[in-house]
Amino acid sequence: MHTRAMFDLGVRRDQLTVLLVDDDLVSREVTATVLTMNGYVVHTADDGSASLRMLTDGEVAPDLILMDAQMPGLSGVALIAELRANSRARIIALSGSNPPLEVSAAADGFLLKPLDVDALRKYLEGQSVQPAFGAAPFMSDPDAPAISPETLTQLRQLMPEAAVREIYQAIVADLIKRSQALEEAIANGDQAEIRRIGHAIKGGCAMAGALQAARLGALLEAVPLELAGNQFDNRSSLLNDLHSATAALQRILDAELPA
């Protein structure tokens, strides 16, 4: 197995190169920003195939690979096998919920989204890290704010105001796109797609502290594959709530971070 622990690399943390693989734009950009501001050299890929091209082309020689546990296309155990064949980097899977057991077993470690840099450091130092599964407090709070004040403050400390606005504007654009896909999935009764969209919304929005939208994404992800009674109406209600959360996010964006 071509892996090695970061504490055996003999280099400082600010010299470590990370390849971040995540199909969700918001999660990818926020995670990359946080890692960069914490001293890591970060390269990003938007899917498994792109990450392999970067490795085989010699574009990046990472010390660590962080990969989303659930992506369309090449993903999961198959992606981990390909990454190992083309890199000696340690591989850590990331997910906003419990990853498939086979992915956890194949990777060198697992961390929950949003990424906790302190937990990542513990991994790199060889310490054991046990992800704390379970819903975040805001997930069950219908009165959660559109944007977490704490997260907004942290982002403002990490980057210029224009960059913070760019992140939240990307979230708004992504929510509009996913709302359209969600409307189609509801019309088609495609529960698997509804859950996939919910998972993506939850992960990206939680990463940036867009709490209302993240909560709705979690509720959509929890939709049962077999629906009965008025549960279809519930999905439509969540879609309307998502439109409202998107509008609220845009209003706060315009007030707090005007262009």
DSSP letters, 20-81, are EE-S-HHHHHHHHHHHHHTT-EEEEESSHHHHHHHHHTTS---SEEEEESS-SSS-HHHHHH
User: What's the mean pLDDT in 18-30?
Assistant: 89
User: What's the mean pLDDT in 174-189?
Assistant: 92
Asked if residue 243 and residue 160 are part of one domain, the reply reads yes
Query: Residue 157 — pLDDT band, cuts 50, 70, 90?
Result: confident
Asked if residue 165 and residue 89 are part of one domain, the reply reads no
Nearest to 19 by CA among 94, 76, 70: 94
Query: Residue 153 — pLDDT band, cuts 50, 70, 90?
Result: confident
Domain membership of residue 244 (yes or no) is yes
Asked if residue 70 and residue 87 are part of one domain, the reply reads yes
Nearest to 118 by CA among 237, 244, 13, 1: 13
Q: Is the dihedral of CA 220, 193, 176, 234 positive or negative?
A: negative
Domain membership of residue 226 (yes or no) is yes
Domain membership of residue 71 (yes or no) is yes
Domain membership of residue 24 (yes or no) is yes
- Residues 134, 215 contacting (CB under 8 angstroms): no
Q: Is the dihedral of CA 163, 181, 205, 130 positive or negative?
A: negative
Asked if residue 151 and residue 89 are part of one domain, the reply reads no
CB-based contacts of 58, cutoff 8 Å, min separation 6 = none
Question: Could you give the number of structural domains in the chain?
Answer: 2
Nearest to 145 by CA among 202, 214, 97, 199: 214
User: What's the mean pLDDT in 154-160?
Assistant: 80
- CATH number where 62 lies: 3.40.50.2300
- Residues 213, 245 contacting (CB under 8 angstroms): yes
Structure tokens that stand for 37 in this block: 């501001």
Domain membership of residue 91 (yes or no) is yes
Distances (CA, A) of 82 to 28, 93, 111, 145, 168: 21, 14, 21, 41, 34
Stretch (H or E) spanning 158: helix 149-158
Q: What residue has token string 């020689």?
A: 61
Structure tokens that stand for 176 in this block: 């509009």
Asked if residue 167 and residue 130 are part of one domain, the reply reads no
The domain boundary, picked from 104, 134, 164, lies at: 134
- CATH number where 214 lies: 1.20.120.160
Asked if residue 85 and residue 119 are part of one domain, the reply reads yes
Could you list the residue range(s) of the whole structural domain that residue 169 is in?
139-256
Asked if residue 246 and residue 180 are part of one domain, the reply reads yes
The domain boundary, picked from 134, 153, 176, lies at: 134
Asked if residue 145 and residue 119 are part of one domain, the reply reads no
The domain boundary, picked from 134, 168, 203, lies at: 134
Q: What residue has token string 């054991």?
A: 128
Instruction: Give me the pLDDT at residue 52, please.
Output: 96
Domain membership of residue 106 (yes or no) is yes
The Cα–Cα gap between 249 and 26 comes to 14
Backbone angles phi, psi at 119, to 5 degrees: -65, -40
Instruction: Give me the pLDDT at residue 226, please.
Output: 61
Domain membership of residue 214 (yes or no) is yes
Domain membership of residue 1 (yes or no) is no
* 4-18, 76-90, 121-135, 191-205, range with the lowest pLDDT: 4-18
Instruction: Give me the pLDDT at residue 7, please.
Output: 30
pTM (2 d.p.): 0.74
Max CA distance (Å), the chain: 60
- Residues 218, 203 contacting (CB under 8 angstroms): no
Asked if residue 182 and residue 145 are part of one domain, the reply reads yes
Structure tokens that stand for 22 in this block: 């995540």
Which region holds residue 19: left if phi is over 0, alpha if psi is between -120 and 50, else beta? beta
Asked if residue 243 and residue 149 are part of one domain, the reply reads yes
Asked if residue 117 and residue 19 are part of one domain, the reply reads yes
Asked if residue 251 and residue 216 are part of one domain, the reply reads yes
pLDDT digits (tens, 9 = 90+) for 61-99: 999 999 998 888 899 999 999 999 999 999 999 987 777
